[in-house]
Amino acid sequence: MSATSQTALSAAAPAGRPRRSAHHWWVLVVLGLAQLMVVLDATIVNIALPSAQKALHFSNADRQWVVTAYALSFGGLLLLAGRLADLFGRKRTFLVGLIGFAAVSAIGGASTGFTMLVVARACQGVFGALLAPSALSLLTTTFTDPKERAEAFGIYGAIAGAGGAVGLLLGGALTEYADWRWCLYVNAVFAVAAGIGGSMVLHDQERPARVPIDLPGTLTAVAGLVSLVYGFSEASTKSWTSPVTLALLAASAALLAGFVAIERRREHPLLPLRILKHRARGGANLAMLLTGIAMFGVFLFLTYYLQLILRYSPVMTGVAFLPMLGMVIVVATTSGTFMLPRIGPRPLVTVGLVIAGVGMVLMSGFTVTSGYGDSVLPSLLVVGAGLGLIFGATMNVATAGAAPEDAGVASALPNVAQQIGGALGPALLNTIATTATASMLAGQRVTPRLLAVASVHGDVTAFRVVYVILFASAVVSFLILPRGRAAVAHHRVHVA
């Protein structure tokens, strides 16, 4: 029996009947491995940056481009890549993304200069954009039974939430005990394993009739998202009021407004607006955006605190995040399997945001004399519990109800939201922390002790902003997300 026939029978079966397939869980292993590679790449290179800078002799001003080049191409191309997956087949785009990601990662690891490294990072973003929505849409079309879907998305959400911490740990170990280049080479190991498995267990559904690419929508969406991410990056290194930052953000607003206007009139739009009108999906993507700000803020400023104040090595910094990683995995898989099918997304996401906010309140009490066991560890466990509730639910709900021909672009949206949150978070929070630190040092006789106190003051000021964002997000999620199980009860819901 063909994969298409199996899927059709699965969709036609009653919702309460188990529809298990022997290869489903191998599909989850393959897609989870690919997702882990993409997510950890956002943080693994951060640990390697000081060593890479020393080896390739580039300046502090240039250093940001190693991170920004990836974010620009990844965030800017996600929507287009999601639509390409719908048009040309998700298995095909998934495998092309894997192969390309592995190849350019190897090139980046072999870099002989700054330009080569930045170009490789930009190409990583291109292939990552092709890979991420293909993986999520394959997961969406593979797991159609509500119970299995909840379990699968709980695990997948745990990977999305914990991957950044894995990147910190793996990056620290590779940098300290091997070489910074292995922070890029290691992607080839993940990609080869996922590629071999994917070629064996993944299957495409029958593709819809070929339609032309929405070129005007593509150009305005890519330009608008790139301007947005680039504007946030400029704000973090210059200021929010610099002419370049303001021009980029204004251009982004104009381009994205133009994109919406174009999509309303297109017969075959890049982003069918019916996807965003679905209340559950819209709320889930908003929660993912705001959670991305908080998550990347935790990784950034807690890394600073552990290394600069507690004097942790790169490896110990990664190890310090392990309890949060474990909590995310346990809570995401448990809540996705047992709670989401029974109570729906609203209570899980709302309570998760509140719990994560409480964890950030605990972090805002850090001082120069705080210890790991009495201060850092409890806050990490609380934040991890909150993130676990959020990611398992939002990854599921963000793709629920999308017609099969829209699965790829619907799957791109949570990645776009997380990427924009990851760009906005460091830019916004770094500006706030830097300003707070400078204010404490102004007019003072600078000593090592005062520098440490001022640095912690900047960190905890950023943490305070994060918990305000999380608590406000909880209110918004409670108001927007639908109550009950309807949002996740059925995979396929035809929308007009």
DSSP secondary structure string for all residues of 422-442: HHHHHHHHHHHHHHHHHHHHT
Tell which CATH architecture fits domain 23-203+270-489. Up-down Bundle (1.20)
The DSSP code for 464 is H
Total-model pTM: 0.77
Structure tokens at 359: 């964890």
Asked if 380 contacts 323 with a C-beta cutoff of 8 angstroms, the reply is: yes
* Sign, Cα dihedral of 7, 9, 14, 18: negative
Asked if 155 contacts 24 with a C-beta cutoff of 8 angstroms, the reply is: no
Cα–Cα dist 409/85, whole Å: 8
Angle between helices 182-201 and 146-177 (to 10 degrees): 150
Length of the chain: 496
Q: Is 41 helix (H, G, I), strand (E, B) or coil?
A: helix
DSSP string, 309-356: IS---HHHHHHHTHHHHHHHHHHHHHIIIIIHHHH-HHHHHHHHHHHH
Q: Which residue has the tokens 């639908």?
A: 482
Instruction: Write the CB contacts of 294 (distance below 8 Å, at least 6 apart in sequence).
Output: 356, 360, 425, 466, 469, 470
What pLDDT score does 98 carry? 93
Amino acid of residue 180: W
The neighbour count for residue 364, using CB atoms within 10 Å, is 17
Closest alpha carbon to 134 in 412, 396, 399, 403: 412
* Domain residue ranges in the chain: 23-203+270-489, 215-269
Q: What is the Cβ-side half-sphere exposure of residue 388, based on CA atoms within 13 angstroms?
A: 24
Asked if 403 contacts 495 with a C-beta cutoff of 8 angstroms, the reply is: yes
The neighbour count for residue 313, using CB atoms within 10 Å, is 13
Structure tokens at 379: 């806050």
Residue 20, sorted as left (phi over 0), alpha (psi -120 to 50) or beta, turns out to be beta
What pLDDT score does 210 carry? 61
Asked if 78 contacts 167 with a C-beta cutoff of 8 angstroms, the reply is: no
Q: Is 181 helix (H, G, I), strand (E, B) or coil?
A: coil
Give the ranges where 178-214 is alpha helix by DSSP (H): 182-201
Q: Is 471 helix (H, G, I), strand (E, B) or coil?
A: helix
Give the ranges where 364-406 is alpha helix by DSSP (H): 377-397
Q: Which residue has the tokens 């209340």?
A: 279
Closest alpha carbon to 428 in 454, 455, 463: 463
Asked if 122 contacts 68 with a C-beta cutoff of 8 angstroms, the reply is: no
Asked if 473 contacts 287 with a C-beta cutoff of 8 angstroms, the reply is: yes
CA distances from 154 to 6, 229, 323, 492 (A): 24, 29, 18, 19
What are the backbone angles phi and psi of residue 488, rounded to the nearest 5°? -125, 10
pLDDT tens digit at each of 496 positions of the chain: 333 333 333 333 334 444 445 567 788 889 888 888 887 887 788 778 878 888 998 876 677 788 778 877 887 788 888 878 877 888 889 999 999 999 999 999 999 999 999 999 999 989 998 988 888 888 877 887 777 777 787 788 778 767 777 887 888 888 888 888 999 999 988 898 998 988 888 877 665 556 677 889 888 988 888 888 788 777 767 777 889 999 999 999 999 999 999 988 888 788 887 777 777 777 888 888 888 877 777 777 888 788 888 988 878 888 888 898 889 888 888 887 778 778 888 899 999 999 999 999 999 999 999 999 999 999 999 999 998 888 778 877 777 666 666 766 777 788 778 777 776 777 778 778 888 888 899 888 888 889 899 989 998 999 999 999 999 989 988 988 877 664 554 444 333 3
Q: Which residue has the tokens 């206007």?
A: 261
Q: What is the Cβ-side half-sphere exposure of residue 414, based on CA atoms within 13 angstroms?
A: 36
What pLDDT score does 13 carry? 38
Q: Which residue has the tokens 């440490």?
A: 452
Structure tokens at 378: 């409890």
What pLDDT score does 484 carry? 65
Cα–Cα dist 361/382, whole Å: 10
The DSSP code for 219 is H
